[in-house]
Structure 1
């Protein structure tokens, strides 16, 4: 199932396709007119994503992309505005969240041969104190990891939850949101039809009695 991670990249791809097509078919008035209509509609929905920082967060919290995705595709002004919105979102909802860090049974925060709990805790605490960084800025300061194909698995790992307890909560909240509501709506509609059919069968049986 596609999640919010794919929304902005998909729009960026379509915007690039429309603009390239407009340049390619600029001498075709009829086709150019249709392309311009489609482009305006696409830009309308792209602008609507500004009201929800979760769309930006879904890309940045993909460890394979982070902010490098936007820095190579968006204008400097767009990136600055996006950084400001996401920083405010993080600081308002997640930065100071406090919850007992109970480890799930059988869930080890480090792989065999990796660093211990103490090493991970020390790194997180020492870096935060020495640099003044919080979880979000520490995560963004690290280079993207292009080999990671499943962002949710990355954030569900014990290692990520140990190093970034609040940021991992934010990531899993956002990366669990489907890109479209069509699939959940289809599921509920299907169950509703089944219930209606079941009620109809019961009523018919009662009437026959």
Structure 2
């Protein structure tokens, strides 16, 4: 797999080192003592659909979970039919690796789709889907090229950093957390925590979105008939 220089090296000089506070992303008061430099996810805003904060969260080298948010910037223009500005994510690939994605996934006009194992749900304009499994020859600290193809426009490739399944990203790649530096020093084994259930599975999320749209259309029809 074609990889960029390890981001740990890229941020080693001149980086601001922060102490991670108690874990809140999984709804647990689980503190981590690891001191590290937070690395933002990869972003691309070159096409109609923005790819935001893309990372691969990995418990160990060689496999992980792709977490990202896709935002559709198009809106339905006056006189155009409903759905005309929707966009579809058709494929996700990674050079030299395998991405377990089954498409297409629709990103509605002015809406978003979040791939994440976070228990917090998106707002009414978004849909939550589970994080996407990725395997390959990457290691924690690498940058992995991930290409997203939509039904319109050019393919979008982002260099997603591979981050440990701990701290801010804990539970995104399952309940077995990546040991932090103090764990390794004390010869601790990777430890398992109880992760909250994700906001929704693929089938549940899609059905809930369809139900919400049907209810909104019914309300609109009722208002027009009055």
Shorter-chain TM-score tier? under 0.3
Larger Rg: 1
Q: By percentage of residues, which structure has more strand?
A: 2
Greater helix content: 1
TM-score (norm 2): 0.21
Structure of higher RCO (CA pairs closer than 8 Å, 6+ residues apart):
1
TM-score (norm 1): 0.23
